[in-house]
Amino acid sequence: MPDTKPILLTGASGNLGRMLTKELSAAGYTLRLTDIVPFPDELPKGASFVKADLTDSLAIVRQAEGCGTILHFGGVSVERPFEEVAGPNLHGLYHIYEAARMFGARVVFASSNHSIGFHERPQGNAAKLDADCAFRPDGYYGLSKVYGELMGRLYWDKHGVENVNIRIGSCFPKPINKRMLATWLSYPDLARLIARTIEAERVGHCVVWGASKNPDSFWAEDHRDRLGWAPQDTAEDFRAEVGHIVSDDAVEERYQGGGYTSIEYSRKGGFSPRDQFDLE
């Protein structure tokens, strides 16, 4: 049965927010939607929308009051200069966690594979990454996701605020290139995952790789057992269509973060410290 307390969804006007609004409303959840831009669709039954800026702490507190779960999908969602990322993704995230602490809500944080994007793609029998791997952000956006996951760690340890950090790979209607055969997360798999983050009895602080059941996945162990979630879809269905599509950028093709790793990439004489100095 759906949680009887309202669910706050930030970033509701984005592609994932709109999809989740539709799916969660259809499942019977009461939603409070917020974004810095108007909601572009007709509001479904049981949903309300308030335009709000994540940097406005009072607005966030007002929307979070009485909610059982905060689904935090708001903020800058692509690589941008640091000053553009800092306001919504750093200060805004703090306001989310303070509101969760005040009202005893669980936070579900839309983290990203870009928090670990400078790990190399596994080749052959190389080990895949577990959820406790080192952070290696591939830009300011990825760095903000590291901050978000560590904020969740702090608020669980210090205040007992439960949080689920979903390191979303590539969440689109279908994969569009070879890399996404490893990173793709289907809309239905995300919707089912979010429902479990709301309904799971106890989660503590946990990290889940946000990817469908992809044989080429870069990622291995995480905390999904706490949620009772397992992906049902697979990028393998699209291999013939997109498996040959790669870029001509050697940096992009080497690292897990793909194109984000080559944005403003200025390392000279090689790809990584390991290449130049024989260091890990």
**What is the torsional sign of CA 7, 13, 14, 19?**
positive
Specify the residue for token string 């690292």. Answer: 255
Q: Report the topology of domain 7-277.
A: Rossmann fold (3.40.50)
Structure tokens at 203: 């989660």
Name all contacts of 13-19 with Cβ < 8 Å and 24+ positions apart.
13/37, 13/38, 13/39, 13/40, 14/73, 14/74, 14/77, 16/73, 16/110, 16/171, 16/190, 17/73, 17/74, 19/187, 19/190, 19/191
Residue 28 has pLDDT above 80, yes or no: yes
Report the C-alpha gap between 68 and 95 in whole angstroms.
Answer: 16
Task: Kindly report the average pLDDT of the chain as a whole number.
Answer: 95
pTM value surpassing 0.85: yes
Structure tokens at 251: 């940096």
**How high is the pLDDT of residue 124?**
84
pLDDT tens-digit series, residues 61-75: 999 999 999 999 999
Cβ contact 91:144 at 8 Å: no
Residue 279 has pLDDT above 70, yes or no: no
**How high is the pLDDT of residue 257?**
98
Percentage, residues of the chain above pLDDT 90: 92
Report the C-alpha gap between 18 and 40 in whole angstroms.
Answer: 8
pLDDT tens-digit series, residues 166-201: 999 999 999 999 999 999 999 999 999 999 999 999
Task: Please state the rounded mean pLDDT for residues 210-230.
Answer: 98
State the catalytic residues.
141
Residue 270 has pLDDT above 70, yes or no: no
Report the C-alpha gap between 93 and 109 in whole angstroms.
Answer: 9
Report the C-alpha gap between 211 and 221 in whole angstroms.
Answer: 12
Segments making up each domain of the chain, as ranges: 7-277
